[in-house]
Amino acid sequence: MIPVAIAVAGIYLYFTQGSGKSAARTVQVIDWIRNPASFSSLMMTSGSKCAGAPFIFPTNGMVGYIWDDSFRPGHRHSGLDIFGGTDVGVTPVVAAYSGYLTRQADWISTVIIRVPEDPLEPSRQIWVYYTHMADPNGNSFVSPEFPQGTKEVFVEAGTFLGYQGNYSGDPANPVGVHLHISVVKDDGVGNFLNELEIKNTYDPSPYFGMPLNANENKDSIPVCE
């Protein structure tokens, strides 16, 4: 019970300090962490794909927060958060789409995959960003196949990338155990833009075939339509 209590406390402190666009989902995330088995209908399965969507689902879990949710004043969430309902280092993460993986030298819990041809618009390049794959103290759960400094390694969709963690950069304030994934824009000359700013990301809804835009999906937990 102690890991669950810690996870719930981390969720509460990290995600309930603000304007409340995500408040309804926060309640459901906390309930999920306390008892995932009671909400099995909300769980997505790693490797599954919603009808017509180009991306596979990258991990087991419930989609707790979505694109443009807000946790605090002025904040706009740039991707989606998938909560496995397990302890750190247990729930695997796989590549949602094929591409070229980079892990910068200072990235503890993060990888990014370059997709040269966006499956929704082949004339543009996109990047798929995965993070929180470490424990609160920065012990990484990223696959040893991709050490820090890895550049442009081709991976197929479904390739193991690591495990869900709760790394936030501050050991005293871990996030809940989850994967954060976002679809990041290219800068036009072959580099990814800053993922922290929502203007630099795409609405992930059409990539996953799910209602992942908080402006359209106000309070429900998304599943395949």
pLDDT, tens digit (0-9, with 9 covering 90-100), for 24-66: 888 888 888 888 888 889 999 999 999 999 999 999 999 999 9
pLDDT tens figures, 58-90: 999 999 999 999 877 778 999 999 999 999 999
Considering just the CA atoms, what is the radius of gyration of the chain in Å? Answer: 16
Q: Is residue 136's pLDDT more than 70? A: yes
Domain 2-208 belongs in CATH node 3.40.50.620: no
182 neighbors 197 (Cβ within 8 angstroms): no
Q: Is residue 16's pLDDT more than 60? A: no
Question: Dmax over Cα atoms in the chain, in whole Å?
Answer: 50
165 neighbors 132 (Cβ within 8 angstroms): yes
One-letter amino acid for residue 128 of the chain = V
Predicted confidence at residue 75, as pLDDT, reads 82
Q: What percent of the chain has pLDDT over 70?
A: 90
Positive or negative, the CA dihedral 139, 141, 145, 150 is: negative
190: left (phi over 0), alpha (psi -120 to 50) or beta: left
b or e along 68-84 (b: 16 or more beta carbons within 10 Å of the residue's beta carbon)?
bbbbeeebbbbbbbbbb
pTM listed for this prediction? 0.90
CA distance 162 to 8: 23
Find the mean pLDDT for residues 133-148: 98
Predicted confidence at residue 181, as pLDDT, reads 98
Q: Is residue 130's pLDDT more than 60? A: yes
Predicted confidence at residue 18, as pLDDT, reads 43
Looking at 68-72, 97-101, 164-168, which range is the least confident one?
68-72
154 alpha-carbon distance from chain centroid: 20
Q: Is residue 183's pLDDT more than 90? A: yes
Going from N- to C-terminal start, the domains of the chain cover 2-208
Find the mean pLDDT for residues 87-115: 98
**In whole numbers, what is the pLDDT of the chain averaged over residues?**
90
- DSSP letter (8 states) at residue 37: G
pLDDT tens figures, 141-151: 999 999 999 99
Find the mean pLDDT for residues 107-135: 98
Write out the two tokens for 222.
């998304």
Q: What percent of the chain has pLDDT over 90?
A: 75
> Of the candidates 192, 164, 197, 160, which has an alpha carbon nearest to the alpha carbon of residue 180?
164
174: which residues sit within 8 A by CB, 6+ positions away?
6, 10, 14, 135, 136, 166, 167, 168
